[in-house]
Amino acid sequence: MKRSIPFGVLVYLIALALGACGGVAAGGGDDKQAEGQSLPKYQKASLPAGRYHTTEFEPSLSFRLAGDVWRFEGPSGTLGDPERPDYLFIQKVEWGEIAFFNLRKVQGVYKPMGPRGETEPVPAPDKLVGWFQHNPYLKTSRPSPVTVGGVKGVQFDVIVANLQKGDSCVDIFKLSTGGPSEACVFKKARYIVLEDVKGVPVVIQYGDEDFDGFVPVAEKVLESVEWTDD
């Protein structure tokens, strides 16, 4: 004799099945969409939550943004392209910034000269950490080990010091745009030096006016970094 399933149990089983199917479909769709997003080509484009991959920066990488309002920003808020082979800038509206630099592609570092900190670019040194430590206009913390995307390196914090009246920033890297990346008095920064990412030395910099509040946000992004094939 066949026994019918009680109506209440049947409704419960149908609800479970629909919930499971809906969850799988939504999750799979989101992952597929996120993996397919390339960074936009224009200044100040908004970046909704998801995974993005670079199209110009070398070495190529992907990363995930989640839970905050981000945009594709040029160097130091300028009108320069947000992404080139030597750099990549993304910004958490309004102030927090994460930047990547290819030391083989940047045009050099700025050597401090003169009482007011006038600078001129010179080739980036092999021992970049030492360059930061000996810059008279910067104070650095003790380097500590860090890993980004499976690549080991060191990280240290930087604040601007000893500037003359009227100065607020120190030029760091000369970029392919002709302009500089900067360290400024109103924004503490953390630098990560990775000496060998697919054979290329890479520097990552992030900072904000609210540095302590931005650190966990930036670290979450960097934890999602994957160095990808060109």
Residues 47 and 69 in one domain: yes
**192 burial level (CB within 10 Å; 0-12, 13-18, 19+):** buried
Is residue 84's pLDDT more than 80? yes
Cα–Cα distance, 117 to 114 (Å, whole number): 5
Same domain, 67 and 145: yes
For the entire predicted model, the pTM comes to 0.80
Same domain, 18 and 124: no
Neighbouring residues of 145: CB distance < 8 A, sequence distance ≥ 6 = 152, 153, 154, 155
pLDDT tens by residue, 30-66: 444 445 588 887 777 888 899 999 999 999 999 999 8
Same domain for 148 and 47?
A: yes
**Residues 4 and 107 placed together within one structural domain of the fold:** no
Residues 65 and 101 in one domain: yes
Q: Answer yes or no: do 78 and 156 share one domain.
A: yes
**Does 137 score more than 50 pLDDT?**
yes
Do 158 and 49 share a structural domain?
A: yes
Domain residues for the domain of 8 are 1-35
72 and 27 together in one domain: no
Give 166's DSSP letter.
Answer: T
Count of domains observed in the chain: 2
5-33: pLDDT as tens digits: 454 433 333 333 434 443 333 333 444 44
Q: Which DSSP symbol is given to 172?
A: E
Say whether both 109 and 10 belong to one domain: no
Question: Are 17 and 58 contained in the same domain?
Answer: no
Task: Clarify whether residues 23 and 9 are in a common domain.
Answer: yes
End-to-end CA distance of the chain: 65
